[in-house]
Structure 1
Amino acid sequence: MGRPRQPLLSRDRIVAAALTLVDDEGLDAVSTRRLAAELGVSGPALYNHFATKDELIDAVVDSVLGEVDVAVFADPAITADGAWQAPLRTWARSYRAALAAHPNVVPALAQGPGRRPNALRMADAVFGALVDAGWPRAQATRVGVLMRYFVTGSALGSFAGGFPDDAKLYAGAYPHLDQAHLLADAQREINEAAFETGLTALLDGLALKYATFDRKPVG
């Protein structure tokens, strides 16, 4: 039997093609007709792998979350007093990097993990590590939610990039924005520095909260 002219259709191949569309044009660009054309197959062939568009979008989002480093939470040393901060910082940076590489998927994250395996695995890893480190379960939930809000919010867009480079726009009417026309050119540096400033502030504040808990000795 001769080899097929097109590579065999698979979930991974469909997800990769859909993610490229999302990256290039946004979530609304994904459609059965468009994907079928990109993959060189008939539209019905896609339904053998994904019953609905929502199911496909879930898989696309989950593929991005699969890029996030959660292995940092596997170290038993995290149970030492205060040792939770370093892996939480590493995870937050990895999470932001994944979303910054694929910012168009961020709106689809708003509904929570749903049935997405990588999303549930990440939630389990973060929550479990915090509880093992001595955070009460209710507080660990709040910390996980807080960090998710912070990271996803930072990946939604570039605040610095939203300032036009027209110096005349700010002259007179906005005297404190006399350098705002320079922000767009340095947006990546500004965004990363702002994220690190916020992350440090969050972790420092959480450390103060953590110190108030009456924790039982581990072991």
Structure 2
Amino acid sequence: MVVWERPEPPERPAPAPLSRERIVRAAIRLADADGLDAVSLRKVAAELGVGPMRLYGYIATKEELLDLMVDAVHAEIRPTGDGWREVLRSLAEATRRAAHRHEWLADLIGGRPQLGPDSLAASEAVLAAMGDIDLDTVVPAVAAVNAYVVGAVRREIAERRAERASGMDQRQWQASYGPYLRRTLATGRFPALARVVHDGPHLDADETFRAGLDFLLDGIAARVVG
């Protein structure tokens, strides 16, 4: 029986009452503060002021705990809008915002489908918005948006982590490599790259995300109309 179907132990009088929700919220607090390395059943138990063995009545493994954490964050992802394009945009932007609030989410999405109730509710909202569009278009279109978001947020979170590790933000890092890049481009070996560096748009993270998403949605729209 999967964790979402498995009943919780009956309540009992205790100095520190437990529930699956309280356990998951404690794990999310730890992960938000210090990343996934800070999450273990022992550390979560300590956060809640109970012994580790008490948690096993609610959660059998760390993998179950991670699944529950991801599903809890999906409660923050509620795609809305009129029509498929607005809903897909809402899905992408809401997922990105959730990953910015919970950096560890970027490490856990993009693999096998999430099947918890909140994850399924988000998927239902998206698929319902696709209306009567042919499923041969719907399935790869939604998959393409999800793949774009996963790639984009992982890149953004990787940049955040690099800034913390190096002590340099993106502008400072670019400045440190500027002389090398100018010398390299001056050789004439990379003319297309030089044109982009000198004349291309220099978008921030928000602009880059939205521009890429627009390209993707435009492509889906062409297929839907076609």
Task: State the shift of 1:164 in Å.
Answer: 6.3
Q: Alignment partner for residue 181 of structure 2, among 157, 173, 180?
A: 173
Query: Structure 1 residues 210, 45: CA separation in 2 closer, same or farther (over 3 Å shift)?
Result: same
Alignment of 1:158-197 (within 5 A): 158=156, 163=170, 165=172, 167-174=175-182, 175=185, 190-197=204-211
Query: Structure 1 residues 22, 128: CA separation in 2 closer, same or farther (over 3 Å shift)?
Result: same
Q: Aligned AA for 2:178?
A: Y
Q: Deviations over 1:112-142 (max 9, x none)?
A: 3343111122222222321x1x321121010
Aligned to 1:216: none
Task: State the shift of 1:110 in Å.
Answer: 2.6
Aligned to 1:58: 67
Aligned to 1:186: none
Aligned to 1:36: 45
Query: Structure 1 residues 85, 45: CA separation in 2 closer, same or farther (over 3 Å shift)?
Result: same
Aligned to 1:129: 129
Task: State the shift of 1:155 in Å.
Answer: 1.4
Alignment of 1:29-178 (within 5 A): 29-70=38-79, 72=80, 78=82, 83-130=83-130, 132=131, 134-158=132-156, 163=170, 165=172, 167-174=175-182, 175=185
Query: Secondary structure, in 3 states, of the residue corresponding to 1:115?
Result: coil
Is 1:10 aligned to 2:8, yes or no? no
Aligned to 1:210: 224
Query: Structure 1 residues 165, 86: CA separation in 2 closer, same or farther (over 3 Å shift)?
Result: same
Task: State the shift of 1:90 in Å.
Answer: 2.2
Q: Aligned AA for 2:104?
A: N
Identity %: 31
Task: State the shift of 1:16 in Å.
Answer: 0.9
Q: Deviations over 1:4-47 (max 9, x none)?
A: 544x1111111111011212222232112111111110001111
Aligned-partner Cα distance in 2 for 1:125–1:196: 21
User: Please, which runs of 5 or more residues in structure 2 have no aligned partner?
Assistant: 1-12, 163-169, 186-193
Tell which deviates more after alignment, 134-143 or 38-47: 134-143
Aligned-partner Cα distance in 2 for 1:160–1:33: 30
> Which of structure 1's runs of 4+ aligned residues deviate more than 6 A?
none
> TM-score w.r.t. structure 1 length?
0.76
Q: Alignment partner for residue 30 of structure 2, among 17, 21, 34?
A: 21
Aligned residues: 189
> TM-score w.r.t. structure 2 length?
0.74
Query: Secondary structure, in 3 states, of the residue corresponding to 2:57?
Result: coil
Q: Deviations over 1:79-116 (max 9, x none)?
A: xxxx3212222232112111221121222123233431
Quick check: 1:18–1:60 contact (8 Å CA) kept in 2?
A: yes
Please provide the CA RMSD for this pair: 2.5
